[in-house]
Structure 1
Amino acid sequence: MTNYRVLVSDPISEKGVEALRSAEGITVDVNTGLSPEELIKIIGDYHGLVIRSQTKVTPEVFAAAKNLKAIGRAGVGVDNIDRDAATDHGVVVMNTPSGNTISTAEHAFALMLALARNIGPAHTSMISGKWDRKLYEGVEMFGKRLAILGMGRIGTEFAKRAQAFGMHVVAYDPFLTAARAQSLKVELAETADKALTGADVVTLHIPMTPETNHIMNKERIALMNPGALIINCARGGLVDEAAAKASIDAGHLAGIALDVYEVEPPPADFPLFSAKKTVFTPHLGASTAEAQENVGIEVAIQIKDFLQSGEIRNAVNMPNLDAKTLESVGPYLDLADSLGKLLSKIAPAQCDSIRVSYLGAVSELDTELVTRKILTGYLAAASNEAQVNLINAPAVAKNLGISVSESTVALATNCTELIEVSAIKGNETTTVAGTFFGSSARIVHIAGHYVETNPSGRFLFVENDDRPGIVGVIGSSLGEAGVNIANMALSRNKEKKTAVTVIEVDNEPTPELLKTLRETPGILKVLSFEL
Structure 2
Amino acid sequence: MYKVLITDPIAPEGIELLQKDPEVEVYNEPDISYEELLEIIKDFDAIITRSRTPVTKELLERAEKLKVVGRAGVGVDNVDIEEATKRGILVVNTPGANTIGATELTMMHMLTIMRNGHKAHESMLNYKWDRKKFMGEELYGRILGIIGLGNIGSQVAIRAKAFGMKVMAYDPYIPREKAEKLGVKLVDNLHDMLREIDVLTIHAPLTHETKNMIDEKEFEIMKDGVYIVNCARGGIINEKALIKYMESGKIKGVALDVYSKEPPPPEFIDELKRLADKVNISLSPHIGANTYESQRNVAVIVAQQVLKALKGQTVEYAVNAPFPDLSVLTLIKPYLDLAEKLGKFLVQWTEEGIREVHIEVRGDIAEYFQPISSAVLKGILEEVVDFPVNIINAFYVAKDRGIKVEELSSEETPDFKHYIKVVVKADGKEKVVAGTVLEGQIPRITEIDRYKVDIEPEGILLVFENKDVPGVIGKIGSILGEANINIAGFRLGREKKGGIAIGILNLDEPASEEVLSRIKEIPEILFVKHIVL
Please report the TM-score for the alignment, with normalisation by the length of structure 1.
Answer: 0.57
Distance 1:239-1:301 versus aligned 2 partners, 3 A rule: same
| 1:163 paired to 2:161 | yes
2:188 pairs with 172, 182, 190, which one?
A: 190
Native 8 Å contact 2:363 2:418 kept in 1: no
Which residue is equivalent to 1:285? 288
* Residue-pair matches, total: 355
Residue identity opposite 1:72 in structure 2: G
1:310 is aligned to 313
Answer yes or no: is the 8 Å Cα contact 1:148–1:202 preserved in 2.
yes
The farther-off stretch of 55-64 and 195-204 is 55-64
Corresponding residue number in structure 1 for 2:275: 275
Partner Cα distance (1:257, 1:107) in 2: 10
Distance 1:257 1:152 in 2: 20
Do the aligned partners of 1:353 and 1:424 also contact (CA within 8 Å) in 2?
no
Amino acid of the residue matched to residue 305 of structure 1? Answer: K
Whether the aligned pair in 2 keeps the contact of 1:91 and 1:391 (CA below 8 Å) is: no
Report the equivalent of 2:128. 130
| Cross-structure match for 1:223 | 221
Change (3 A) 1:308 1:427: closer
Aligned pairs for 1:310-349 within 5 A: 310-317=313-320
Q: Provide the rounded CA distance (Å) in 1 between the counterparts of 2:411 and 2:167.
A: 49
Query: Does the CA contact (< 8 Å) of 1:150 and 1:206 recur in 2?
Result: yes
Say whether 1:251 aligns with 2:249: yes
Contact 1:356 1:371 in 2 (8 A): no
Quote how far apart the aligned CAs of 1:247 are. 2.0
Question: 1:204 corresponds to which residue?
Answer: 202
Structure 1 residue 33, shift from structure 2 partner: 6.0
| Corresponding residue of 2:366 | 356
1:150 shift after superposition: 1.2
CA–CA distance in structure 1, aligned partners of residues 54 and 219 of structure 2: 33
**Partner secondary structure for residue 240 of structure 2:** helix
Whether the aligned pair in 2 keeps the contact of 1:141 and 1:165 (CA below 8 Å) is yes
Sort the Cα spacing of 1:65 and 1:234 in 2 relative to 1 into closer, same or farther, 3 A. farther
> CA offset at residue 167 of structure 1?
1.5
Alignment CA distance shift 1:30-1:122 (3 Å): same
1:154 aligns with: 152
Q: Which moved more, 1:80-89 or 1:134-143?
A: 80-89
Q: Which deviates more, 32-41 or 180-189?
A: 32-41
Shift of 1:190: 1.8
| CA displacement 1:324-383 (0-9 Å, x = unmatched) | xxxxxxxxxxxxx9xx89x99xxxxxxx9743269xxxxxxxx736988xxxxxxxxxxx
Deviations 1:198-235 (A, max 9, x none): 32212121223333333333332333222112212222
Name the SS for the 1:256 alignment partner.
Answer: strand
Q: Aligned pair in 2 of structure 1 residues 44, 252: CA closer, same or farther (>3 Å)?
A: farther
Q: State the shift of 1:31 in Å.
A: 3.9
Q: 1:170 to 1:57 in 2, by over 3 A?
A: farther
- Structure 1 gap ranges (5+): 320-336, 345-351, 359-366, 373-388, 393-405, 410-419, 430-531
Pairing of 1:375-524 with structure 2 (within 5 A): 408=408
The CA deviation at 1:263 is 3.4
Deviation at 1:58, TM superposition (A): 6.4
Indicate the RMSD between aligned Cα atoms, in angstroms: 4.2
Paired residues of 1:200 and 1:225 also in contact (CA < 8 A)? yes
Matches of 1:67 and 1:302, distance apart in 2: 18
One-letter amino acid matched to 2:206? M
The structure with the larger Rg is 1
Cα deviation, residue 303, structure 1: 0.7
Question: Quick check: 2:198–2:225 contact (8 Å CA) kept in 1?
Answer: yes
Q: Distance in 2 between matches of 1:76 and 1:302?
A: 13
- Native 8 Å contact 1:354 1:424 kept in 2: no
Matched, 1:102 2:105: no
- How many angstroms apart in 2 are the aligned matches of 1:229 and 1:41? 54
Residue 294 (structure 1) aligns with: 297
CA distance in 1: counterparts of 2:9 and 2:188, whole angstroms? 41
TM-superposed deviation, 1:98: 4.1
Q: Is the 8 A contact 1:356 1:422 kept in 2?
A: no
Distance 2:237 2:36 in 1: 34
State the 1:140 CA deviation.
Answer: 1.5
Secondary structure of the structure 2 residue equivalent to 1:278: strand
